[in-house]
C-alpha cells in the first residue's frame, strides 16, 4: 500500500508574497474554502503578527474551514502569541516557527554582537531561540512545525544539530526549505537522506520540504526529496510566490497521480478541483496562468499538429497522459444568459468553487444582468470576474459610481468620475493626454489623493469569449516606495481601467498598516 504525502498549501502566505498578489480578507476566505474542497491537509493562512489585516484574515480562515490551519511566526514570543490568538477558534491549528540558519543569513540577520561575537556563539544563540520558540508554541498546540530558513545552504553539521534540538523540544514537523531555489534535485534529495541518517531522533517527526523555483527546479527538488524520505510538501497553486515562485501543487499532485506505477506515494487531493482552484487564485491575485503551464494552462490539453490531432481522435492516450476531466476541465458548460435565474447562476458558481449567500447574490445577480445585456452569453470566466468584482465591493474604500468620458479627433479628452468612499460621494472632472489618463487624473482629484502616484505598468487583455468579450486591465502603481497592483474588468476598456486604478488604491488603503512591518519582517521560509 502506498504512503500518503501531506499537502501543505502556502498560497495564502508565501504565494501572496508574489509581487502584486495582495489579497483582501474576502478573497482569502474564498480561496481557503476552495482549498477545503480541494482537500488539502494543511492551509498556511498567513503571518498574523505582520499586520492587523493579516491577523484578521488568519482569524476568519480559522473560523471558516474544517481542516488544519497554520500560522507563521518568527522565533519571537510575540509572533507566537499572535498566531495563537488568530488561530484559537480553529478546530485544529499549527504554529509554524522559523529562523535563518545558513551562514549567509546568520551574518546578514544576526550580525550584531548581541547574538554573539563568533559564528559559533551566534549559532548557539539561534539554536536556543529555536528551541525556546518550539517549547513556547507547544504550550498552545501539539502541532508545531519548525523551519531552518535557507536550509538548502546551511552547513549540514549545524542543520543536524538544530533539528535534533528542536525535535527534543517538541517539534512534530521539521521543514527543510530551499529558500533561494539554489539546490539541484539530486543534491536536495541527498540532503534529506543525510539528515535522516544524522539526526538520531528524526523518526519522531514528519520531514517536510519547501522549495522555491529560482532555477525552475522546485517541483523536481520536491519529488526527489519525497523519494528520499520527505512526507510533507509545501507548495502553492499555480506555483506563485516570492521571486520565481514556489513548487506548483498541481504539478506535484499529478506527477504522483499519473505515475502511480512509479511512485509508492499518494495524496488525498481531489484532482478534479485543481482547475477551479487555479482559476480562482489567478482571478483574485491578477497573476495570469501561462498558456503552456503544465496541468492547468489553456494549452495543457491543446493539440495543434495534424499528426497529434489524428492520434488524439483515434486514441486520446496517444498524446495525453491524463484527461482534462481528471483535473476539472469539463467540455460541457451551462449556457447562461439574460433569462437565467438566480438558482442557475448560484449552482454554476458553486460548481466553480465559490460560496454564494443570499446577501452576496443580490450584487452578483445585478452584475450578471448588466453583463448579460451587453454580451448575451455568459461564460465561466465572466462569472469568475464578477466574483472578483464582488470581492472589491467588500473592501469598503473607493468604489466607482459613475464614469463619463468625452473624446474625439479634435477634442481634448475629458473624464468625469463619481466615487463612493466610505459613505461619502465625490465627483470631479479632469483632462488628460488620452481618455485613460484623464480618467486617472479625475479619480485622483475626486478622492483628493495626497501621495505621489507613479504608473509603473498598464496592460489590457481579452479574458472571455464571445461577442462583447470582457477586457481586463491590470495596473501597477508606485505609492510611497511600495507597489500596488489592481485589475478591472469590463466590456468597456476605459471603465476597466478606472476599476483597476481604484482597486490598486484600495489595496494601498487596506495594506497601509503593513508598510512599516514589511520592511523589518521576512517570512520567506
The CATH code for residues 395-514 is 3.30.160.270
User: Which residues in the chain show pLDDT less than 70?
Assistant: 303-313, 331-335, 375-376, 389-396, 463-469, 511-524
| CB-based contacts of 55, cutoff 8 Å, min separation 6 | 48, 49, 82, 85, 86
- Quote the DSSP letter at residue 340: -
Residue 331: strand, helix, or coil? coil
pLDDT on residue 344:
80
Cell numbers standing for residue 281? 487564485
| CB-based contacts of 261, cutoff 8 Å, min separation 6 | none
pLDDT on residue 313:
67
CA distance 159 to 176: 9
CA distance 281 to 276: 9
Express each pLDDT in 176-227 by its tens digit. Answer: 999 999 999 999 999 999 999 999 999 999 999 999 999 999 999 999 999 9
CA distance 40 to 268: 7
Edge to edge, the sheet with strand 424-431 lists: 398-408, 411-421, 424-431
Percent of the chain topping pLDDT 90: 61
Express each pLDDT in 250-291 by its tens digit. Answer: 999 999 999 999 999 999 999 999 999 999 999 888 888 998
pLDDT on residue 368:
86
**Which pairing describes strands 424-431 and 411-421: parallel, antiparallel, or unpaired?**
antiparallel
pLDDT on residue 391:
62
Q: Which CATH number fits domain 3-285: 3.40.50.300, 3.40.1130.10, 3.40.630.10, 3.20.20.70?
A: 3.20.20.70
Express each pLDDT in 329-369 by its tens digit. Answer: 876 555 677 777 888 888 888 888 888 877 788 888 888 88
> Which stretches does DSSP call E strand in 444-503?
453-462, 471-479, 482-490
CA distance 268 to 253: 9
Task: Enumerate long-range contacts of 280-284, CB under 8 Å, 24 or more apart.
Answer: 280/30, 280/31, 280/34, 280/352, 280/353, 280/354, 280/384, 281/11, 281/15, 281/31, 281/237, 281/238, 281/240, 282/238, 283/384, 283/385, 283/387, 283/388, 284/23, 284/27, 284/30, 284/31, 284/388, 284/391
Q: Where do the structural domains in the chain lie, given as residue ranges?
A: 3-285, 303-329, 342-392, 395-514
CA distance 70 to 52: 17
Q: How far apart are the first and last CA of the chain?
A: 32
Amino acid at each position: 500500500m502506498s504512503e500518503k504525502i501531506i499537502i501543505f498549501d502556502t498560497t495564502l502566505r508565501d504565494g501572496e508574497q508574489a509581487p502584486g498578489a495582495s489579497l483582501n480578507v474576502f478573497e482569502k476566505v474564498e480561496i481557503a474554502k476552495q482549498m477545503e474542497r480541494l482537500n488539502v491537509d494543511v492551509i498556511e493562512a498567513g503571518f498574523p503578527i505582520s499586520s492587523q489585516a493579516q491577523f484578521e484574515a488568519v482569524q476568519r480562515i480559522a473560523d471558516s474551514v474544517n481542516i488544519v490551519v497554520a500560522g507563521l511566526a518568527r522565533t519571537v514570543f510575540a509572533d507566537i502569541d499572535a498566531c495563537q490568538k488568530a488561530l484559537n477558534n480553529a478546530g485544529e491549528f499549527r504554529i509554524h516557527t522559523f529562523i535563518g540558519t545558513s551562514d549567509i543569513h546568520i551574518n546578514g540577520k544576526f550580525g550584531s554582537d548581541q547574538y554573539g561575537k563568533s559564528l559559533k556563539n551566534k549559532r548557539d544563540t539561534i539554536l536556543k531561540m529555536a528551541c525556546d520558540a518550539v517549547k513556547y508554541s507547544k504550550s498552545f498546540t501539539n502541532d508545531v512545525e519548525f523551519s531552518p530558513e535557507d536550509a538548502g545552504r546551511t552547513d549540514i553539521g549545524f542543520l543536524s544539530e538544530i533539528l535534533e534540538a528542536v525535535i527534543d523540544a517538541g517539534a512534530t514537523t521539521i521543514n527543510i526549505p530551499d529558500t533561494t531555489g539554489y539546490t539541484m534535485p539530486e543534491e536536495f534529495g541527498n540532503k534529506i537522506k543525510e539528515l535522516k541518517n544524522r539526526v538520531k531522533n528524526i523518526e519522531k517527526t514528519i520531514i517536510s520540504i519547501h522549495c522555491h523555483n529560482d532555477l525552475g527546479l522546485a517541483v523536481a527538488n520536491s519529488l526527489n526529496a519525497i523519494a528520499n524520505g520527505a512526507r510533507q510538501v509545501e507548495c502553492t497553486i499555480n506555483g506563485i510566490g516570492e521571486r520565481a515562485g514556489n513548487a506548483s501543487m498541481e504539478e506535484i499532485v499529478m506527477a504522483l497521480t499519473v505515475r502511480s506505477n512509479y511512485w509508492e506515494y499518494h495524496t488525498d487531493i481531489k484532482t478534479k478541483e485543481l482547475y477551479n482552484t487555479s482559476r480562482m487564485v489567478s482571478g483574485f491575485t491578477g497573476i495570469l496562468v501561462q498558456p503552456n503551464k503544465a496541468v492547468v494552462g489553456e494549452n495543457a490539453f491543446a493539440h495543434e499538429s495534424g499528426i497529434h490531432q489524428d492520434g488524439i481522435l483515434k486514441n486520446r492516450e496517444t498524446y495525453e497522459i491524463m484527461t482534462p476531466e481528471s483535473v476539472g476541465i469539463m467540455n460541457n458548460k451551462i449556457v447562461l444568459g439574460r433569462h437565467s435565474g438566480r438558482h442557475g447562476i448560484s449552482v454554476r458558481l458553486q460548481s466553480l468553487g465559490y460560496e454564494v449567500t443570499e446577501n452576496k447574490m443580490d450584487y452578483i445577480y445585478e452584475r450578471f444582468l448588466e453583463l448579460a445585456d451587453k454580451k448575451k452569453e455568459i461564460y465561466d470566466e465572466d462569472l469568475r470576474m464578477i466574483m472578483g468584482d464582488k470581492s472589491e465591493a467588500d473592501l469598503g474604500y473607493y468604489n466607482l459610481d459613475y464614469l463619463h468620458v468625452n473624446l474625439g479627433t479634435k477634442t481634448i479628452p475629458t473624464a468625469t468620475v463619481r466615487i463612493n468612499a466610505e459613505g461619502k460621494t465625490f465627483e470631479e472632472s479632469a483632462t488628460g493626454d488620452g481618455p485613460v489618463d484623464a480618467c486617472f487624473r479625475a479619480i485622483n482629484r475626486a478622492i483628493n489623493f495626497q501621495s505621489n502616484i507613479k504608473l509603473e505598468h498598464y496592460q489590457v487583455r481579452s479574458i472571455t469569449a464571445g461577442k462583447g468579450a470582457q477586457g481586463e486591465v491590470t495596473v501597477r502603481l508606485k505609492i510611497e516606495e511600495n507597489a500596488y497592483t489592481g485589475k478591472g474588468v469590463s466590456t468597456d476598456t476605459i471603465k476597466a481601467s478606472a476599476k483597476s486604478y481604484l482597486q490598486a488604491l484600495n489595496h494601498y488603503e487596506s495594506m497601509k498598516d503593513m508598510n512599516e512591518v514589511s520592511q523589518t519582517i521576512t517570512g520567506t521560509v
